[in-house]
Amino acid sequence: MAQSVRNIIVGAANVFVSVSGKTDGTAAAVATSLTSGDARTLIAADTNYVDVGYTTNGLEISYEPNFGEVAVDQSLDAARIFKQAMKVTLKTEFAEATLENLLVAWAQPADAISGKTSTDNAVLDYQGGQLGDYPLERSLQAIGPGPRTASVGKTGQRIYYASRVLSLDTSAHGLKRDTSTTFPVTFRLLPLASASNSYGKITDRIF
């Protein structure tokens, strides 16, 4: 591949998560078959997904394969290496301290928030669940800058689509005099059996 400064990517992504119970909505189509228009505008119009708004410290994706080794007497190093486990995580920090974002960080269902009208208080009734409960799954869509194009008036865009994400780790936030309140969240990605155990898709597009 020839050296090209157009392939250097700088900039943050917009993050969208599905409402609970919607783990494979139209974001999949946006990520795989979108042909025109800004993906951020199109996914924002999808009622199955919500924009988390501003984020802090960007978006970090971790791809962690785990390999086992077969040792033999005649070799100082491993004779064979085989994959025995896999883990993919995605970390970000919600800078807008809304109850809707706290609901996602704490893996609560959409109906945990009540009120939200001009005359009622908004209330998040967060629950610990029951012994043996399955963790709540959502889908995630992150849309950020991609490699630039030489075409005049065209913009590069990279779309990260994860079909199944779960918020499993501890999420702690503070209320401090000199620091804004943010919600850190770590999503664990799981493969989708109906998509050949794919975690999702990463799409580069020009619009």
The band of 143, judged by pLDDT with boundaries at 50, 70 and 90, is very high
Higher pLDDT, 1 or 169: 169
Which range marks the domain in which residue 183 is found?
5-206
Q: What percent of the chain has pLDDT over 90?
A: 46
Stretch 113-133: mean pLDDT: 81
Cα 148 to the center of its chain, rounded Å: 23
Structure tokens at 38: 């800004």
Q: Is the pLDDT of residue 32 over 70?
A: no
Q: What is the largest CA-CA distance in the chain?
A: 77
Stretch 61-90: mean pLDDT: 96
What pLDDT sits at residue 24?
Answer: 56
DSSP state of 47: T
Mean pLDDT of the residues in the chain: 86
CA atoms of 91 and 188, how far apart (whole Å): 9
What pLDDT sits at residue 88?
Answer: 96
- 202 and 160 in contact (C-beta within 8 Å)? yes
3-class DSSP state for residue 125? Answer: coil
Residue in the structure block whose two tokens are 């999949």: 28
Q: Phi and psi (nearest 5°) for 163?
A: -75, -30
Q: Is the pLDDT of residue 31 over 60?
A: no
Higher pLDDT, 32 or 12: 12
Residue 195 amino acid letter: A
Cα 119 to the center of its chain, rounded Å: 34
The band of 34, judged by pLDDT with boundaries at 50, 70 and 90, is low
Higher pLDDT, 205 or 51: 51
What pLDDT sits at residue 110?
Answer: 83
Triad 190, 33, 62: Cα angle to 5°: 30
Q: Is the pLDDT of residue 66 over 70?
A: yes
Q: How many domains does the chain have?
A: 1
Q: Is the pLDDT of residue 190 over 80?
A: yes
Structure tokens at 160: 């990260």
End-to-end CA distance of the chain: give it in Å, rounded.
Answer: 23
Residue 47 amino acid letter: T
Per-range mean pLDDT, top range of 33-37, 118-122, 161-165, 191-195: 161-165
Residue 197 amino acid letter: N
